[in-house]
Amino acid sequence: MEFLFTDFQIGIFSIFSILILIYSGMHVAIALSLTSFIGVLMIRGDWTIATKMLSLAAADSISKYIFGVVPLFVLMGLLISVSDIGKDMFDVANRIFKRIRGGLGVATVVANAIFAAVTGISIASAAVFTKVAVPEMIRLGYTPRFAVGVVTGSSVLGMLIPPSLLLILFGVLTETSIGDLFTAGILPGLLLSSCFIAYIVFMAYRFPNQVMVKQSARMAVPEVEMGILTAFWKLVPIASLIFLVLGGVYAGWFTPTESGAVGALGALLIATGKRQMNRSKLWQVLTETGHVTVSVLFLIISANMYGRMLALSGVTQFLGTWIGESGLGMYPLLLIYIIVVLLMGTILDSSSILMIIVPLVYPVMTAMNFDLVWFGIVTVIAVEVGLLTPPLGIAAYVVKSTLDDQRIGLNDVFRGAFPFVCIMVAVLALIVFFPQISLVLIR
């Protein structure tokens, strides 16, 4: 079987084909697999070789022990999301910050950051705090747009503060230490949280009309009847789980996969102890864990196929040679990469972006001696911006679909989240120019 195109041309066509198929509505994993199979078939000209090559790629993709980390952390996150821990974190943070103007917004960010430390899934954070924080903020006089903006914007902390599903996927795709990626995500996550808080407080004091609906509500203090002892006991379960999961990884007690198993067991015990778990909820959690896991692993298999096809076509080698001969420095190259990721974020979800872009650029970044841990943090932040930007903006859609308030439209959610997009881009720039922000804890 002969074709008129060179191997390199087939590789280039495959990139455009994937984008066209995805934009046409095809699932990302299907588009990657189909394009990879057709690409290998056209390059080798033999059905048997194409079939065997891709079947080997599929078998090799998820056969390693480390891939057990995916379902375990997903299970832990989903168990936590149904155990009312998000509400507990919000109540405790609300008590601490209730006397600060804009305190409910600050409490939402802090609760999201703590919740992120045990879920690792931004969508779960968006869904939980839409139900918990938005109605309370609106009741106490906050503008609906500001309320949904705070929840939508702070939900992205779930994919940066470890344990993070995106960091796990990046580590798997690039064979980078997941423990190092988790450690490197701590300071950027805290920095991003601090910037969100600073923005909320600044807006509450400088532009109160954009935060509060009416003058009398600006100084409204939520009536939170919670003593110090009650707040302490509400913090114990989540603090214990964070210490067990993250402390176990950093101290070397567990591998990331083992920490996921311990965390899932701990989350199950917490949900059971809080009487939030019954047979129907457990079945729902297990089913959703299966759906998410299969989706993620299918994407990993497809990305592995796609990476092998690109290598076979010579595209990755050409890209590395071209960049080396073009004289582009690290920062111009990184700027182009970030712009591409941000543009992809307007039409694709986070995991899909990683699966498409990382196999393409990983060989190039390795050849140019990029620090892959730092590069992983930069990539995840850039990818997360896509959760807040139209037309896809998955976090915005989750907030809108979870809201039980017809007065708030999707446009309000996007507008409310826009300042947080700007803050994320600014923090991304800081980490690009000052890599030690992410590397100081592991160097």
Tell me if 387 is assigned to some domain: no
Residues in Cβ contact with 188 at an 8 Å cutoff, skipping those fewer than 6 apart:
160, 377, 381, 427, 431, 437, 438
- Asked whether 357 and 19 are in contact (CB, 8 A), the reply is no
Length, in residues, of the chain: 443
Q: End-to-end alpha-carbon separation of the chain, Å?
A: 53
Residue 245: inside a domain, yes or no? Answer: yes
Which residues form the domain of 232? 65-295
Q: How many CA atoms lie within 13 A of 353 on its CB side?
A: 28
d(CA 311, CA 321): 13
Residue 214 has a pLDDT of: 59
User: Which single residue is written with the structure tokens 């949900």?
Assistant: 271
Residue 102 included in any domain: yes
pLDDT of residue 222: 46
Q: What is the pLDDT of residue 386?
A: 80
- Per the domain annotation, does 132 fall within a domain? yes
Query: Is 347 among the domain residues?
Result: no
Residue 109 near residue 148, CB atoms below 8 Å: no
Rg (CA), the chain: 23
Residue 111 maps to a domain: yes
Over the chain (443 residues), the average pLDDT of each successive run of 10 is 70 82 79 86 82 77 71 80 76 80 87 77 76 82 90 86 84 86 91 94 90 57 59 79 79 81 86 80 87 79 79 77 72 87 77 80 82 93 85 78 79 91 94 93 79
Q: What pLDDT, on a 0 to 100 scale, did the predictor assign at position 236?
A: 82
Domain-embedded: residue 241: yes
CA–CA separation, 193 and 190 (whole Å): 5
* pTM to 2 decimal places: 0.79
Angle subtended at Cα 435 by Cα 186 and Cα 367, rounded to the nearest 5 degrees: 115
Q: Is 403 helix (H, G, I), strand (E, B) or coil?
A: coil
Phi, psi of 212 (to 5 degrees): -110, 150
What is the reported pLDDT for 219?
A: 44
Supply the pLDDT for residue 427. 95
Long-range contacts formed by 285-288: CB under 8 A, 24+ apart: 285/75, 285/78, 285/79, 285/82, 286/75, 288/78
Q: Name which of 380, 353, 387, 342 is nearest 155 in CA terms.
A: 387
Q: Could you tell me the two tokens for 190?
A: 């805290």
Helix axes 7-23, 350-367, angle to 10 degrees: 160
Q: How many distinct structural domains can be found in the chain?
A: 1
Integer Cα distance of 76 and 286 in angstroms: 10
* Neighbour-count burial for 341-376, b at 16+ CB within 10 Å, e otherwise: bbebbebbbbbbbbbbbbbbbbbbbeeeebbbbbbb
As to burial, measured by CB atoms within 10 angstroms (0-12 exposed, 13-18 middle, 19+ buried), residue 232 is exposed
Residue 316 is assigned to a structural domain of this protein: no
